[in-house]
Structure 1
Amino acid sequence: MKRPVLFAVVASLAASLTACANSPLGQTAERSLAADPRLENNPALFAPNPTQAELPADFPSEIPRYPNAQLQTVSPLAEGEPGQLTRWTSPDSAAQIEQFYQAQFQANNWQLVEATPDSEPNTLAARRDDLQVKVSWETAQAGENAPTEFVLKYLEGEPQAVVSPAPSPSPQPQNPAVANETPEQLRQYVQDLTALGIFDNETIQPNEMMTRRQYARWLVAANNRFYANSPGRQIRLAATTAEPTFQDVPRSDRDFAIIQGLAEAGLIPSALTGEATAVTFRPDAPLTREQLVLWKVPLDTRQALPTATVEAVEERWGFQDASRINARALRAILADFANGEQSNIRRAFGYTTLFQPQKTVTQAEAAAALWHFGIQGEGLSAADIQSLDRPSVTQAN
C-alpha cells in the first residue's frame, strides 16, 4: 500500500514542476538553480590571486615608498631612458599620499620642482642629484571605498626627460634685496642656509615673524640635511596613518608628517612627553624665543637636558627675567650656555641681559639658530656642509 502512495506523490510533484516551468516564478527558479555561465567561461574566478608585482632589484633606495600602498605593475620607460614606471594602489586618500611625498622630499634633501601652467595636474616632481622622480595621483574615484591609484616614475639621468622646466642644479644666489634687509650680524647665516636649500622654495622675509609650523619645517630640513649620511641622527617623519597627537594638526595637514614626527621623537612638548595639556600645536602661532631654544638644543646635545633652576640660569646667563621662563625651557637654556660661542642664544640674539622668553622670533633669527648643530668643537655648521659638498661637485665635473 505504501509504494503506490509514494509513486502518486512523486508524480504529483513532477506535474507541479512541469506546470510551473512555463510561469514567471518557475522560470526564475529555473534560472536560480542553473549553473552560472560565467563560471564555465571564466575559470580564473576560482584561480588563486596572481603573484604580487615586485620592485626591481635596482630600485633606488633613496626614493620614498608610501607605507600603505600595494605595488601593481612595473614597466620600463621608453627605450634609452634608464628608469621605471611603477603603479600603486592605496586605501588612503590622494591628499594623504601627496602630503607624505611633499614632506619626505622636503626633509630628505630633494629639490621640489615648482609647478608651471604646462605642468601635469595632480603631480609632484622632485630631483636629487641625477635622480628624477614624478608622483601622479588620481583624485576622482568611482566608488566610496575605491582605492587611490598613483604612479611613481623615476629616471636616472637627464633631468629634462622627467621635469620641465628643469631648475639649475646649483644653489640659487641670495636675493640682493633680501640680503640687504637682513641684519648684518645674521646675513651670513641666512645666505649659507639658502645655499643648502634648507628653505626649499620659500621666500625668506628676514624681519618677519617665524611661525611654529615654519620653524618645525626648517628644523627637520636642516637637521636631516646636516646629517644626510647619518641615518641615526635624522628625524624620522611620521607615517600618514599615525594617530594625530595634536587636535589642530590632522593627517590632512600638509605638515602633519613633520610635526607629528617631532612629537613622536619627543622634541616638542605633547601628551607623548607627559604634557597632558598640550593637546594643540597652534601651527600658525608665532614662535617664541624659549620655544626656539627648547626645540633646538636637544638636537645639539643629543642627551637628556640637565636639571635647571631659575637661580642657575640667572647665574650663568645673567638674565634679569629668568623667572619668566617656562620651567621646561629653563633646562634647554641652561644646556645652551654650555655650548659657548656656538650657543643658539648668542648666535641668534647676541649679547643680552634680558632673554624675553615670549618675544616673537624673526625668520633671520631662526636661521641663525639652525646654522649650527652639535656641541662646541664637535658640531657642524652650514659652512662646513658646503665645504664637504664641494669636493664631490669638483670630482663630478
Structure 2
Amino acid sequence: MRPGPWLKLGSLIPLLWLLSACQGTEWGERLERAVRPVGPPTAQSEPLAPPSPQPSPGSIPPSISAPPAPTPSSPLPSPDSSRFTDLEPGSLVARSVGYLDRLGVFADIPGSEFQPQRSVRRGEFARWLVLANNAIHADEPSRQIRLGSPSERPLFLDVPEEDPHFRYIQALGAAGIIAGDANREFRPNSLLSRAELIRMKVPLDLPPGQIKGSRAELEERWGFTDAAQIPPEAIPALVADRSLENASTVLRTFGPIRTFNPFEPVSRGEAAIALSAFGERTAQDAIPQPPALPDPTPEPQPSPPAAEPEQTASPEPDPNPASPSNAVDEPSAPARPRSSEVAPGEGRIVTPRQTQP
C-alpha cells in the first residue's frame, strides 16, 4: 500500500521544524547540506524574450512593408485655365480670355503671351467679334454671321481679299453691323476706341430693330460727364446697351464709370471681357461640358430569388391497381410458386388412373 499525500506531508513537518530551530548553528548547516539536492550547478537563467506576436490571418507580416496608399490624382485644370502665361490667375481678364480661347476665338495669337495691356486694332477686333458671336450662338443659326468669301467683291477699299481679316470684316459689312467712312475705308490697322467697340458689339447683343436712342436719352440713362463728346453714330448703341442692365457691355467691361472717354483705345484685356458674353449668353456656357463620371459607389445588386424546393415526381398510377375499389368479385386463382420454390414432383398436373374392372 502506497503512502498517501497526507502521510508524506506529516513526515516533512518535523524536518522543517528542525531546520528552522537549528538555523545558524553547525548542526543546522550539516542538516541543510544533507537535505539539499545534489546536482550540477545551473547557469543563471536569462530572462525570456517576450514571444513575438503572430500575425492575424489576412494581415501583412511586419517584415513586409505595406504598399503605399494611393495618392489622389492631380486636379483637373479649371475651366478658365488658358495657355497664356501673362494673365493674372483668377482675374476677370484671365477667365474671359480662357473661355474664349477654348472656343477658338484667339487661335490667331501665337505663343504663350496674350499681352492684355496692348491696344487692339480694328481688324483684329472684327475677327474676334465674328468668331465669338458664332461660337456663343452655335445653337442658334439665325444669330450666326456668315463669313465672307474670297471670291466676293471687297466692301472696303482698304481690306482686299488677301487681308488676313478679310472674311470677318466682309461679313460684318454685309450684315450691316459696320460701315466704311466717306472714302469707303474700314481702317483695319487703326486702334479700336471705346465708342467703336460699343457701336460694333451692341447690335449683336440685341435683336435687330432695338438699336435706337437720342443724346437726351443717353444723358438721362448714363449721365456721362462727357456725353457731349460722344460721336453721334455711337449714341443709339450706348442707349440700347443701358437697357441690358447687368448684361450691359459698358458695365461689364469698364464698370460703373462716370466718364466714358469715347476715343480712348481699348486694350486686349478689355476686348476679351466685352466679347465674353452677348446679352445673356456667355462664353462659359458655350464651352462643351465633359461627360459626367460614373458614381464609384456600386449599385446594390438584387438578391437572387430563393431556390424553390425540388418536388419529387409522384409515382405513376398503376393501370391495374389491386385496390378494393377495383377488385372483381371473382375467385382469385392460387398463386403459382416460382420455379425455385417448386418441390419435386409438383411441376405438372397428375391425373389419377381409373381402376380396371
Larger helix proportion of the pair: 1
* 1:174 alignment counterpart: 82
Which residue, 280, 285, 309 being the options, matches 1:384? 285
CA contact (8 A) 1:309 1:330 kept: yes
Are positions 1:241 and 2:151 aligned together? yes
Are positions 1:221 and 2:131 aligned together? yes
The alpha carbon displacement at 1:241 in A equals: 1.7
Q: Which has the larger radius of gyration?
A: 2
Which residue, 215, 230, 238 being the options, matches 1:333? 238
Give the counterpart letter for 1:200 in structure 2.
Answer: A
Q: Deviations over 1:128-179 (max 9, x none)?
A: xxxxxxxxxxxxxxxxxxxxxxxxxxxxxxxxxxxxxxxxxx9994246322
Identity %: 37
Answer 1 or 2: higher relative contact order, Cα 8 Å, separation at least 6: 2
Give the counterpart letter for 2:244 in structure 1.
Answer: N
The alpha carbon displacement at 1:311 in A equals: 2.0
Which residue, 193, 197, 200 being the options, matches 1:292? 197
Q: Deviations over 1:353-389 (max 9, x none)?
A: 1100000000010111111112xxxx21111112xx1
* 1:88 alignment counterpart: none
Larger strand proportion of the pair: 1
The alpha carbon displacement at 1:278 in A equals: 5.1
Distance 2:116 2:293 in 1: 32
* 1:197 alignment counterpart: 104
The alpha carbon displacement at 1:309 in A equals: 2.1
- TM-score when normalising by structure 1: 0.50
**Structure 1 residues 171 and 252, CA, compared in 2 at 3 Å: closer, same or farther?**
farther
Q: Deviations over 1:174-197 (max 9, x none)?
A: 2463222x8944332222222322
Counterpart of 1:331 in 2: which secondary structure? helix
CA contact (8 A) 1:235 1:261 kept: yes
CA contact (8 A) 2:87 2:114 kept: no
Are positions 1:349 and 2:254 aligned together? yes
Are positions 1:266 and 2:173 aligned together? no
Are positions 1:359 and 2:264 aligned together? yes
Q: Deviations over 1:105-144 (max 9, x none)?
A: xxxxxxxxxxxxxxxxxxxxxxxxxxxxxxxxxxxxxxxx
Structure 2, unaligned stretches of length 5 or more?
A: 1-77, 295-357
Distance 1:243 1:394 in 2: 51
Give the counterpart letter for 2:275 in structure 1.
Answer: L
The alpha carbon displacement at 1:340 in A equals: 0.6
CA contact (8 A) 2:92 2:273 kept: no
**Structure 1 residues 314 and 183, CA, compared in 2 at 3 Å: closer, same or farther?**
farther
CA contact (8 A) 2:105 2:131 kept: yes
